Amino acid sequence: MVQGVEATVDDVARAGRARFLDTLYRQYASALLRFISRQNVSPEEAKEIVQETYCRLQQIPQVETLESPRGYLFRTAINLARDTKRQRRRHGDLSHVTDPSAADEVPSEAPTAYQVLKGQQELAIIRQAIAELNPTTRQVFILHRFGNATYGQIAGRLGVSVSMIEKHVSAALAHLKSRLDEAHS
């Protein structure tokens, strides 16, 4: 008898949940689609985003208790649109661009020639600055920064205190900063 009552309660709860989700879809789907379509995504992507938004809504255990279902829908859709655009940029996909001249407006994530040159120059300065360090400081710095060794590991290896390792790393960083500052001025 108790199992029958529990099953009936579950059926009523599922039916109420389905009505709630259906009402939300009818109330917000077209507005959500219009909104997402203005987020620089293709019409197909916008439809997929709206569908995925409602799929995620259905996964919420107590969806009926959401304080602002509309807010949840729009926030989720915005996040999905951002993810879509980020993924598209990562893959260099411009298929969403309807105006060919607008392809020039999509910012490239590749470094500019100036940034590459500046990076190469700074790397040369850093290499030279590391070479200028005394041998122990250089060894400590390289073990810590490039070998991912902890201060304790380096201290044990060299037979010195951890505070001495801290001093070596600080001295190396100060020297590198000094060389970079000189180069930038």
| pLDDT at 107 (0 to 100) | 52
Alpha carbon 83 to its chain's center: 9
Structural contact between residues 61 and 78, judged by C-beta atoms closer than 8 angstroms: no
| pLDDT at 175 (0 to 100) | 95
Write the single-letter amino acid at 161: S
For 113-184, CATH number?
A: 1.10.10.10
Distances (CA, A) of 29 to 51, 63, 70, 86, 168: 9, 17, 10, 24, 61
| pLDDT at 184 (0 to 100) | 83
Digitized pLDDT (tens) for each residue of the chain, 185 residues in all: 545 545 565 666 677 778 888 888 888 889 889 988 888 888 898 899 989 888 888 888 777 777 888 888 888 888 888 888 888 877 765 555 544 444 444 455 667 787 788 888 888 999 999 999 999 999 999 999 888 899 999 999 999 999 999 999 999 999 999 998 998 88
The residue ranges of every structural domain in the chain are: 10-96, 113-184
Q: Which among 83, 38, 29 is positioned nearest to 57, based on CA atoms?
A: 29
How many CB atoms are located within 10 Å of the residue 167 CB?
Answer: 14
Q: What is the second-level CATH architecture of the domain 10-96?
A: Orthogonal Bundle (1.10)
| pLDDT at 10 (0 to 100) | 61
